[in-house]
Copies of this chain bind each other. A is one copy, B any other.
Amino acid sequence: MLSRNYHDIEQEPVGEDKSVRWVLGKPEGTPNFALRVIEFEEGAVFETHQHPYEHEIFVLEGEGVAHVPGKEVVMQPGVAIYIPPSEPHGYRNTGAGPLRFICVIPHVD
């Protein structure tokens, strides 16, 4: 068993206004999937992109929107979002403070 407070984990920048913390991943010995905490500063946008693996998201704090072609969903605390493999998707922070969410992905070699 291993425990970590996510606050203690280095924030890796994603562009100028977003970051990812790799909270539980391969370095911790996890066999199948990685749990990250993603943070968007106020106004931050992650444009549409895609990759061959899924996301399972749980919103911790803030307000935002996640979008795929033809559909948007609200991001707010307690909302979980599933984005299937290879589905083009993006996000934007629409709130007055940070948008913070858990994003679990399978290990990608």
Contact with B along A71-84 (1 / 0, CB 8 A): 10110001111111
Stoichiometry (number of copies): 2
State A54–B1 Cα separation when bound (angstroms).
10
- Contacting pair B54 A32 (CB below 8 A): yes
Residues of B within 8 A of A24 (CB): 56, 80, 82
- Contacting pair B73 A3 (CB below 8 A): yes
Interface: A28 (CB within 8 A): yes
Interface: A66 (CB within 8 A): yes
With a 10 A CB-CB cut-off, give which of A6, A68, A80 has the most chain B CB atoms: A80
Shortest Cβ gap from A79 to chain B (Å): 5
Give 16 A-B contacts (CB < 8 Å), ordered by A residue. Answer: A1-B68, A1-B71, A1-B87, A2-B81, A4-B80, A5-B78, A6-B79, A7-B78, A23-B80, A24-B82, A30-B54, A33-B56, A33-B106, A35-B56, A35-B80, A58-B102
